[in-house]
């Protein structure tokens, strides 16, 4: 009863909303300028193959260093960029920067890794998405085999034919397609057999309480088993401890990513990790 009254406290709710939206409006304005002034940079987080122990790839994670607002988290500004449509040019810039960086690493003679780029649903809805991706690959000279696109389950719940066509076109270029934050979306699992996917990335909320939570160990084991039966690879996100890593290895997870092995880092710092193994990472950390 008291709770209900509190919830309906109109003036409280109203002022709360206004405070949030004014920062949002400022940030959204800031995003226009950020795009013009090139205020975005990418950090990269390594991903390791549990079978070979080798570093298999990196995920590009955008950082916005704003002169006005300081470091703004992508969790805060990506949704604003999506609402305003600015994610389309920003996303294309991110894709280009990521592919250019991977090309530079290849040219410098580092062992090749796959570059994973997050793609928002709004970008995926663009009819010219595939043309743009092909253009970026052509201009940067990056082989499609060294690019991975991370999409969320929200993409899978869109118009079936358009999604299937775009994914098939992307796959025809040798690009890997993964489902990010797997297990947190609301979509039916039937998309797993409709679309040409390669990797399920288990959301870090399921990894956090491994190996102590019996619910989470059951869920993670079930996701790994399902992925394998569907001939998909499976990557665990947010691995922070040795116990989590050991559990995932014992249960046949294909790849791991997380602070335990490396936080996202600037390109120059990643260069010292390219070509290393899990064993050497653990050794250098201890
Ligand atoms: P995501 O794609 O699921 O990326 C993983 C997030 O988890 C990253 O946060 C990463 O720094 C964080 N993370 C990685 N390992 C650990 C760990 O062991 N523990 C914990 N607690 N966190 C870990 P970040 O960089 O803040 O990005 C947040 C989200 O913002 C991303 O989630 C993604 O949805 C979005 N995002 C980031 N960069 C881009 C981008 O270039 N384009 C788009 N469309 N979205 C992006
Ligand atoms: Mg991601
Ligand atoms: Mg994720
Ligand atoms: Mg996410």
- Residue 60 to residues 45, 103, 164, Cα–Cα distance (Å): 7, 14, 25
* DSSP β-ladder status, 233-236 and 199-202: parallel
Report whether pLDDT(133) > 80: yes
Q: Tell me the best of 42, 46, 59, 74 to mutate to test the pocket of ligand 1, counting ligand atoms within 8 Å of each CB and taking the most.
A: 74
Between residues 175 and 285, the one the model is more confident about: 175
Which residue's alpha carbon is at the smallest distance from atom 12 of ligand 1?
238
DSSP state of 185: S
Beta-ladder partners of 130: none
Arithmetic mean of pLDDT, 113-133:
96
Work out the pLDDT band at 284, boundaries 50, 70, 90: confident
Q: What pLDDT does 59 receive? A: 98
Residue 37 C-alpha from the chain's centroid: 25
**pTM for the predicted model, two decimal places:** 0.93
Backbone dihedral region for residue 252 (phi beyond 0: left; psi -120 to 50: alpha; all else: beta): left
Report whether pLDDT(172) > 70: yes
Q: What pLDDT does 286 receive? A: 64
Between residues 236 and 14, the one the model is more confident about: 236
- Distance (angstroms) between ligand 3 centre and the Cα of 59 equals 10
DSSP state of 201: E
Average pLDDT value over all residues in the chain: 92
27, 77 contact by CB (below 8 A):
yes
Q: What pLDDT does 17 receive? A: 54
- Distance (angstroms) between ligand 1 centre and the Cα of 119 equals 12
* Alpha-carbon gap, residue 21 to 15, rounded angstroms: 10
Q: Tell me the best of 118, 242, 263 to mutate to test the pocket of ligand 1, counting ligand atoms within 8 Å of each CB and taking the most.
A: 118
Which ligand 1 atom lies nearest to the CA of residue 74? 30
Tell me which ligand sits closest to the C-alpha of residue 238.
1
- Specify the range with the lowest mean pLDDT, choosing from 3-12, 66-75, 123-132, 184-193: 3-12
Q: Tell me the best of 45, 60, 61, 265 to mutate to test the pocket of ligand 1, counting ligand atoms within 8 Å of each CB and taking the most.
A: 61
- Distance (angstroms) between ligand 1 centre and the Cα of 5 equals 37
Q: What pLDDT does 7 receive? A: 45
Report whether pLDDT(249) > 90: yes
- Distance (angstroms) between ligand 2 centre and the Cα of 238 equals 11
Which tens digit of pLDDT belongs to each residue from 17-67?
545 578 899 999 999 999 999 999 999 999 999 999 999 999 999 999 999
For 169, counting Cβ atoms within 10 Å of its Cβ (0-12 exposed, 13-18 middle, 19+ buried), the class is: middle
Q: What pLDDT does 285 receive? A: 73
Tell me which ligand sits closest to the C-alpha of residue 45.
1
ipTM of the complex: 0.97
Q: Which helix (H) or strand (E) holds 40?
A: strand 40-49
Report whether pLDDT(1) > 50: no
Positive or negative, the CA dihedral 66, 67, 70, 76 is negative
Work out the pLDDT band at 227, boundaries 50, 70, 90: very high
Q: Is cis: bond before 28, omega within 30 of 0?
A: no
Work out the pLDDT band at 116, boundaries 50, 70, 90: very high
- Residue 33 to residues 12, 39, 98, 181, 195, Cα–Cα distance (Å): 33, 8, 21, 30, 37
Tell me which ligand sits closest to the C-alpha of residue 257.
1
Arithmetic mean of pLDDT, 86-114:
98
- Tokens matching residue 42: 């990418």
Ligand 1 pocket residues where CB is under 6 Å: 45, 60-62, 73-75, 78, 91, 94, 118, 120, 150, 180-181, 204, 237-240, 258-259, 264
- Tokens matching residue 267: 């390109």
Q: What pLDDT does 190 receive? A: 87
- Tokens matching residue 198: 């390669």
CB-based contacts of 132: which residues, under 8 Å, 6+ apart?
92, 95, 126
Q: What pLDDT does 187 receive? A: 76
Helix axes 10-37, 74-84, angle to 10 degrees: 90
Report whether pLDDT(103) > 80: yes
Q: What pLDDT does 8 receive? A: 42
Which residue's alpha carbon is at the smallest distance from atom 21 of ligand 1?
238
- Specify the range with the lowest mean pLDDT, choosing from 27-31, 89-93, 195-199, 281-285: 281-285
Arithmetic mean of pLDDT, 100-110:
98
Arithmetic mean of pLDDT, 78-92:
96
147, 139 contact by CB (below 8 A):
no
């Amino acid at each position: 009863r008291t709770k209900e009254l509190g919830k309906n406290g109109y003036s409280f709710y109203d002022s709360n909303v206004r405070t949030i939206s004014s920062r949002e409006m400022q940030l959204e304005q800031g995003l226009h300028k950020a795009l013009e002034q090139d205020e975005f940079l990418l950090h990269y987080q390594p991903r390791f193959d549990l079978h070979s122990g080798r570093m298999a790839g990196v995920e590009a994670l955008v950082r916005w260093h704003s002169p006005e607002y300081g470091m703004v988290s992508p969790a805060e500004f990506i949704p604003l960029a999506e609402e305003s449509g600015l994610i389309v040019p920003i996303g294309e810039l991110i894709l280009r920067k990521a592919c250019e960086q991977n090309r530079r690493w290849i040219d410098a003679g580092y062992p090749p890794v796959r570059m994973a780029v997050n793609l928002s649903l709004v970008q995926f809805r663009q009819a010219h998405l595939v043309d743009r991706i092909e253009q970026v690959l052509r201009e940067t000279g990056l082989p499609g085999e060294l690019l991975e696109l991370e999409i969320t389950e929200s993409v899978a719940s869109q118009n079936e034919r358009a999604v299937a066509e775009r994914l098939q076109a992307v796959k025809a270029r040798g690009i890997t397609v993964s489902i990010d934050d797997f297990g947190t979306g609301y979509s039916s699992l039937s998309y797993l057999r409709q679309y040409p996917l390669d990797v399920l990335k288990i959301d870090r909320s399921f990894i956090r309480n491994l190996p102590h939570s019996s619910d989470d160990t059951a869920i993670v084991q079930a996701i790994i088993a399902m992925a394998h039966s569907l001939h998909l690879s499976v990557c665990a996100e947010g691995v922070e401890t040795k116990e989590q890593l050991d559990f995932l290895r014992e249960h046949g997870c294909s790849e791991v990513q997380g602070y335990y092995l490396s936080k996202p880092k600037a390109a120059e710092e990643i260069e010292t990790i390219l070509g290393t193994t899990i064993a050497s990472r653990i050794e250098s950390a201890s």
